[in-house]
Structure 1
Amino acid sequence: MLLQLNDLLSAAVLIVGFSLLAYIALQNWQTAIARALCVLLLGVVVVFGGDVLLGQAEHEATIQFLLRAQWLGITLVPAGYAHLSDALLTYSGLPSKGRRWLVAFGYLCSLIFFALALSGNLLLSGGIAHGPLAQFGAGPLFGLFVLYFAATSVWGLWVVWQVRHIALTPTLRRRLTYLGATFLAPGLAVFPYLIIAGTYRVLSDNIVLLFSALGNSGVAVMITIMVYSIAFQGLLLPDRLIKQDFIRWGLYGPFVGVTIILFLRSTPVLARWFGLPAATLVIFGVMIMTVLMPIFVSKIKPYLDALVYRQDRAEIAYLRTLPRNTFTYADLRSLLENTLVVICGALRVDTGFVAAPDDGANYTIKTMVGARREVKRFVAEHPLAEVMPQIAALPPNSPGEVPPIESFLRYDGFCMLSLHGPEGDFLGALGVAYPSGGLTPEARRLIGVLAHQMELALTTVHMQQRLFDT
């Protein structure tokens, strides 16, 4: 019973891992954080794919090959941890060429350990050749690999908490808390515990299988939370759309996949109950599930949406009839905040804000990141009603072009840039702490590109508000 449960959970983790790997690669491949996460997920997929195949393998040569091939996934994880640590620090405005070389060295070490695992007895030797706990024993260099694995894991966890400490927004700190709590999930999933000398000689098979089943259940949940926490990084989209994609992917990927696996694994039992061939039940079962699962998903998705969009139910009810890229006010705040975080991180400054007109004739701060006290001081000493007309008089910047230095207004430690709509109407202002390196052409190009994203979002919301008012 425990063996079947463990096999089922291994297959479930494989489906969840592969679905999440596909999700993050397709949604956010352009960011280094996402690429590093893909390396970690690939390691999990390789190891659990090997576990699923080992459960069906019968020939000793096949078992030996699969056990060694799994080390591709095992060695990828420490390299992925080093890669993710560097990506997090770079995203937080702390790039380092020396650290990049360290990441490259990590991948080289993983390649060497994988080569040792494929041949020879320096890393792996002896062990158990058959049974549900088939595994190699520890070779002379296995202790060195354990040190490498532990060092990258601990360093990565330390980096996550350091980045969390310097995060500019409460939302980003919350996401990094999720990441820190689940950071060790890939390592816990792939580490070859049975190789540690004496483990499989002390514990019974049932105890090991029980621990394995519990661990697999936790890993599936933890890697899902881990991906969720990173799915937002670097995406200039409202949280609502990202959550919507994540929920949809989870329903059509892991949920449907695990459900089908459960059915296929229960087919032999159902065949004995009904006295029919298992192949016949598989045909009818796949046919029924192919039709019913999309219907079931479409029925439960609105209830999940209601939980996610609690703050915008009235707007969401209306926006269901409009294109998917239509924004709510919460979407606008989220997109402006995400864009500000990217700008501040790239310029290596810690404070920024966006000011825009409110429903009346006044101006308000729409969102801010970093030192709120500094933004409040600026607004108190320089009322927006006095500052904004000066910013509105600045020459607008054309999309795709580097804003000239004349488009910026330096004001009490901040550099201000006007935001304009397609017709030249004044939408508001972007303000960021003046960078220590000054407004170089590269800095102005970055601000110009991201400020245009803000202009598009503000224009969209203004157009929608006119629709709502009519």
Structure 2
Amino acid sequence: VPAAQYHLADALLASTGDLSHRRRMFARSNYLVSAIVLIAVLRTEHVVTSVRFSESIPHLRPGLLFWVFSVYYFVLTALSLRGILVARERSQTTPSRQRMTTIAIVFLAAPISVFPYLIVAGPIANVPILFWTASIAANLVSGIMFSLLTLRLAQFGTTNSDSVVRVRLYKYLARAPLAATIVLLVIVLVGRTNNFLNLPEETSLAVAVVATIIFVEGAIHVYKRPLERFFQLDDDPDVRRVQELSERVLTTREMHEFLESLLVGTVNALQTPTAFIAAIGPDGPKLEVSVGPLAESEALEKDTDLALLEQNMAGSETSERSSKLTTSGSFIIWRDYWIQPLYGRRREGMLGILGIRARGEKPDLTPAEMERFSLLQQQAASALEDRILQQEVFALLEGALPSQAVQAQRRFTTSQASYPELVSGEEADSEAIIEDPDFTTMVRDALSHYWGGPKLSESPLLSLRVVQDALQENGGNPTKALRAILTEAIEMQKPEGERSLTTAKWILYNILEMKVVQGKRVREVARRLAMSESDLYRKQRVAIENVARTIYGLERAASEPANGAAPTETP
């Protein structure tokens, strides 16, 4: 224990830039001394001797060299504590000093809980009340101190926030040490109780242990979220929504099962043999789920009239192309089916369609059937909208989550602050940039600030040779040069022929031109391109990857002449 304490103090000093080879060697030598002491305790009676039995608890007697070991133990502990205090003084920021102060205080947990005090104060064991009071108090205090020490040390070099570290630590403490302590306490209590539940000792012990484990795990599960919010010191509604996201995620399979149950209720309530739900995307209807015989599934997905159904319902200029569709009340009649459009809560766009096989030439639902059908329609629309919103959230989180490079930078922050000589002042060359796994992320960030912003003006892409070559054409302005290269890469995505907003080959270019160059909002771009926002995010990701590949090719082409130039001879 004292060797580990000194090693910890040395590591904390090193984190502040105080490197010492002599101190490092001394820390390692302490492990050798600890091994020698352990062998002496196990093999000889020089450190401790025979066991002394008392009324409360048996304990060892001190040996001839026990006092030498005690002096070594506390001197090394004092040196370790001094090293932590020096590390605190070397800390440059208030949070770092506060963290070091906490470590210095809870550092005393090991001397309090590990040193064999009964060898010195053996008579105390003869007073049960005094002994058990002191023992329980010391264990509680040292347990809390060890928890705080673990928390503060876990925050060094982590890529997660302090709140996440706290939650993970206390979740582990609740599921492992706390649960084990409670189970052990129950075993002791049941073992000292005669005829517990009028059962044999083995049976009562097994029942008590199983019941305790179930109770502890159940309590942890019930109070997990409140405790997480408590330890995060943040009861913000946004935090609560994020914590509940995992429970509310609706996978595609779960959505299909839910929609199928809705359709089963529909066909039973309306006495119709077939019902289906199809989502409306940029490529037209896509059948999600159906109940009953549906021979028209392929025709449904290829029907151009249904593909333009949203424009027809909105009364757009393309409505004449949907003249084959007729309406009867709120229903649309398509072949042998009555169709109802599915809208989101804000009715900003059509999400899909709900169709049932016609029972006659015109819809003849009774008011009760219509009320039931409307309820099923709302539930189906809500399920489709929830899935779209979740896809958008996941698409946004994919860009918001820190990359491996960012995580590495976080881990290295302390080292950079402590050892400025390790930080290179040179910019990474263009070869390293384009071969970086996060090159696509760099391009995406630059496109997000296309018309100005730190992600463009401070982008690593400014070091590319192709950008440097464009400086002269852009007045020596690196930001304008990078924007020109991005524009060129976007224009290279343009297909041949006349531009169209609905043709598949123009989709990626239209997204880049509207979203990046024109700066239109996502909702507006999705509406103009007749696609859902989730589809837009997916296709935008593909478009950005294409731009990144194009810039990669431009950089390779710009670097080839320089790399392939013949060396000039010097006289």
TM-score range, shorter chain: 0.5 to 0.7
Instruction: Identify the residue that residue 127 of structure 2 maps to in structure 1.
Output: 205
Shift of 1:105: 1.4
CA apart distance, 1:102: 0.1
Which residues of structure 2 form unaligned runs of 5+? 248-393, 424-444, 469-481, 488-521, 523-532, 538-571
1:104 and 1:275 mapped to 2: Cα distance? 57
Aligned to 2:463: 395
Alignment partner for residue 414 of structure 2, among 335, 341, 353?
A: 341
Q: Structure 1 residue 271: deviation in Å? A: 5.0
Report the CA distance shift for 1:361/1:251 in structure 2 as closer, same or farther (over 3 A).
farther
Identity %: 18
Deviations 1:85-107 (A, max 9, x none): 11111222222221121012111
Report how far residue 142 of structure 1 moved. Answer: 1.7
1:182 CA displacement: 0.9
Q: Distance in 2 between matches of 1:270 and 1:222?
A: 33
Work out the CA distance in 2 between the residues paired with 1:396 and 1:315: 40
Give the secondary structure class of the aligned counterpart of 2:463.
Answer: coil
Change in 2 beyond 3 A, CA 1:310/1:218:
closer
Q: How does 1:112-131 map to 2 (within 5 A)?
A: 112-125=36-49, 128-129=52-53
Distance 1:306-1:328 versus aligned 2 partners, 3 A rule: farther
Shift in Å, 1:268:
3.9
Aligned to 2:143: 220
Map Cα deviations across residues 348-369 of structure 1 (whole Å, 9 max, x no partner): 699xxxxx99999997xxxxxx
Q: Could you tell me which residue of structure 2 aligns to residue 80 of structure 1? A: 4
Report the TM-score when normalising by structure 1: 0.54
Distance 1:424 1:256 in 2: 58
1:164 paired to 2:88: yes
C-alpha contact (below 8 Å) 1:396/1:424 kept by paired residues: no
Once the two structures are superposed, residues 188-222 of structure 1 have per-residue CA deviations (whole angstroms, 9 ceiling, x without a partner) of 211112223xx324774323343223212222221
How many residues end up aligned between the 2 structures?
300
Structure 1, unpaired ranges of 5+: 1-76, 351-355, 364-384, 398-405, 407-419, 426-462
- 1:318 equivalent to 2:233? Answer no
1:281 CA drift (Å): 2.1
Q: Are the equivalent residues in 1 in contact too, given 2:157–2:410 (CA < 8 A)?
A: no
Distance 1:100 1:349, change over 3 A: same
Distance 1:270-1:230 versus aligned 2 partners, 3 A rule: same
Contact 1:121 1:139 in 2 (8 A): yes
Tell me the SS of whatever aligns to 1:121: coil
Per-residue CA deviation, residues 314-362 of structure 1 (Å, 9 max, x unaligned), is 3322322557996999x99x98876533432343699xxxxx9999999
Structure-to-structure mapping, 1:227-246, within 5 angstroms:
227-246=150-169
What SS is found at the alignment partner of 1:258?
helix
Q: CA deviation at 1:231?
A: 1.2
Q: Which amino acid aligns with 2:133?
A: L
Asked if 2 retains the 8 angstrom alpha-carbon contact of 1:160 and 1:176, the reply is: yes
1:227 deviates by 1.0
Contact 1:83–1:103 (Cα < 8 Å) also in 2: yes
Residue in structure 1 matched with residue 111 of structure 2 by the alignment: 187
Using a 3 Å threshold, how does the CA distance of structure 1 residues 323 and 163 change in structure 2: closer, same or farther? farther
* CA distance, structure 1, for counterparts of residue 58 and residue 240 of structure 2: 55
Structure 1: distance between partners of 2:155 and 2:410: 12
Report what 1:381 is aligned to.
none
Name 1:143's counterpart in structure 2. 67
SS of match in other structure, 2:61:
strand
Cα deviations by residue, 1:417-437 (Å, 9 ceiling, x for unpaired): xxx9xx999xxxxxxxxxxxx
The answer to whether the 8 Å contact 1:93/1:347 transfers is no
> Partner of 1:96 in structure 2?
20
Shift of residue 168, structure 1, vs aligned partner = 3.6
What is the CA-CA distance between 1:228 and the residue it aligns to?
Answer: 1.2
Give the secondary-structure state (helix, strand or coil) at the position aligned to 1:219: helix
Q: Does 1:296 align with 2:296?
A: no
SS in 1 for 2:223: helix
Alpha carbons 2:54, 2:125 under 8 Å: kept: no
Deviation at 1:245, TM superposition (A): 1.1
Contact kept? 2:191, 2:205, Cα under 8 Å: no
- 1:83–1:310 distance in 2 versus 1, CA, 3 Å: closer
Structure number with higher relative contact order (C-alpha < 8 Å, ≥ 6 residues apart): 1
**Code of the aligned partner of 1:309:** Q
In the aligned structure 2, how far is the partner of 1:88 from the partner of 1:314? 37
Kept in 2: contact 1:89–1:163 (CA 8 A):
yes
The corresponding residue for 1:280 is 203
CA distance in 1, matches of 2:50, 2:209: 42
Could you tell me how far apart the structure 2 residues matched to 1:258 and 1:82 are? 29
Tell me the residue number matched to 2:174: 251
In structure 1, how many angstroms separate the alpha carbons of the residues matched to 2:239 and 2:131?
49
Equivalent-residue separation in structure 2 for 1:275 and 1:328 (angstroms): 62
Closer, same or farther: CA 222–170 of 1 in aligned 2, 3 Å: same
Q: Which of 154, 177, 185 is equivalent to 2:78?
A: 154
The answer to whether residue 230 in structure 2 is matched with residue 307 in structure 1 is yes
- Looking at structure 2, the residues matched to 319 and 243 of structure 1 have their Cα atoms a distance apart, in angstroms, of 17
Say if 1:362 and 1:258 are closer, same or farther in 2 by CA, change over 3 A: farther
**Partner secondary structure for residue 188 of structure 1:** helix
| Preserved CA contact (<8 Å) 1:124 1:137 | yes
Query: Match of 2:8, as an amino acid?
Result: L
Give the match's secondary structure for 2:49.
strand
Separation (CA, whole Å) in 2 of partners of 1:239 and 1:281: 43
- Aligned letter for 1:395? S
Q: CA deviation at 1:261?
A: 1.9
Deviations 1:137-175 (A, max 9, x none): 322222221121011111111111221222243333222
Letter matched to residue 111 of structure 1: A
Counterparts in 2 of 1:83 and 1:218: CA distance versus 1, 3 Å: same
What SS does the aligned partner of 1:122 have? coil
Q: Which structure has the greater CA radius of gyration?
A: 2
* Structure 1 counterpart SS, 2:219: helix
Paired AA for residue 89 in structure 1 = L
Cα shift at 1:119: 2.4
User: Aligned partner of 1:95: which letter?
Assistant: L
1: CA distance, partners of 2:464 / 2:167: 35
Instruction: State how far apart, in whole Å, the 1-side matches of 2:229 and 2:113 are.
Output: 33
Contact 1:183–1:226 (Cα < 8 Å) also in 2: yes
Matches within 5 A, 1:361-380: none
Cα distance between partner residues in 2 of 1:241 and 1:392: 30
- Describe the SS at the equivalent of 1:228: helix
Distance of aligned partners of 1:318 and 1:126 in 2 relative to their CA distance in 1, 3 Å threshold: closer
Q: 1:360 to 1:270 in 2, by over 3 A?
A: farther
- TM-score norm. by structure 2 comes to 0.45
Could you tell me whether the CA contact under 8 Å between 1:189 and 1:215 is conserved in 2? yes
Tell me the CA shift for residue 253 of structure 1: 1.1
Offset, 1:180: 1.1
The CA distance in 2 between the partners of 1:202 and 1:180, in whole Å, is 29
Cα deviation, 1:42-100, whole Å, max 9, x if unaligned, reads: xxxxxxxxxxxxxxxxxxxxxxxxxxxxxxxxxxx111112111111122222222112
